[in-house]
Amino acid sequence: MAISIAALLLLQGTLSLPAQAANASRTGQRVLMIEMTPALCSLQPTRSRMRQCLEGYSLTVSGLDMGYGERCGRGSEPRITPLQLKVVNRIMPDTTVRTQAWQRYGACSPLSSSNYFRQIINYAGALKLPNELNTGNSYTVLKSRFIGQMTSLNNGMTPANIDLICQAGTQRQMILTDVHVCYEGSKFGNCHNVVDNCGSKFVISGGK
């Protein structure tokens, strides 16, 4: 079974995806950064008061690297309409995370903040993820199996388009904390600056 981020958002509340993705003036590698919320809430106690931890989100998006450089928007705040904010909140519920994503990645691009977050919603809405990420239970999975699920669920995706990031848990097990999906324009692309530190198997934490 599979679940798309769009379907997950529908489970968490009403979602209306924009009809069309915004077009950036330059194509290049983009990286959609997805956080495994239960794992990070457990591994990093400073996050415990964040909305996604308190409300039991299964996963959230932490940003979209547009490939234009980083940290161009120091001090700037993203301008999002109340209607768009309702959509973005389903996938990036924390105000600080949204602001940091914009300041670090979005402000370096030629996109307005509204179009930057529209890009995030469109990438996330089209991406399908293994169902284990949304059951609320914890699993130990083989990396090869997880990657195989990802590539079979998403047409055109290859293992080179995915970067898995883990942290060591209290029992020295590697726990999946982030899934980075790489794109070239609107299509999947090979990831650069890969971390890929999960080993041959890892734990998907469901918070239980």
Cα–Cα distance measured from residue 175 to residue 72, given in angstroms and rounded to the nearest whole number: 32
Q: What is the domain range of residue 36? A: 29-204
Residue 6 inside a domain? The answer is: no
Give SS3 for 84: helix
Beta strands in the chain (DSSP E): 2-4, 29-35, 60-65, 128-130, 139-142, 162-168, 174-184, 187-188, 201-204
Q: How far is CA 165 from CA 3, 33, 37, 67, 153, in A?
A: 20, 10, 13, 19, 20
Does residue 208 have a pLDDT over 80? no
Residue 99 inside a domain? The answer is: yes
Place 22 in a pLDDT band, splitting at 50, 70 and 90.
very low
Residue 147 inside a domain? The answer is: yes
Does residue 181 have a pLDDT over 70? yes
Q: How far is CA 34 from CA 26, 50, 121, 172, in A?
A: 23, 16, 12, 23
CATH number at residue 151: 3.90.730.10
In this prediction, residue 163 carries a pLDDT of 98
Residue 158 inside a domain? The answer is: yes
Across 24-47, average pLDDT = 82
Place 7 in a pLDDT band, splitting at 50, 70 and 90.
low
Torsion angle of C-alpha atoms 81, 87, 92, 97, degrees rounded to 10: 0
> For the segment 82-138, what is each residue's pLDDT rounded down to a tens digit?
999 999 999 999 999 999 999 999 999 999 999 999 999 999 999 999 988 888 889
In this prediction, residue 26 carries a pLDDT of 44
| 35 contacts 101 by C-beta, under 8 angstroms | no
Which helix H or strand E contains 58, and what residues bound it?
none
> For the segment 152-174, what is each residue's pLDDT rounded down to a tens digit?
999 999 999 999 999 998 788 99
Residue 132 inside a domain? The answer is: yes
In this prediction, residue 167 carries a pLDDT of 95
Structural domains counted in the chain: 1
Residue 17 inside a domain? The answer is: no
Residue 75 inside a domain? The answer is: yes
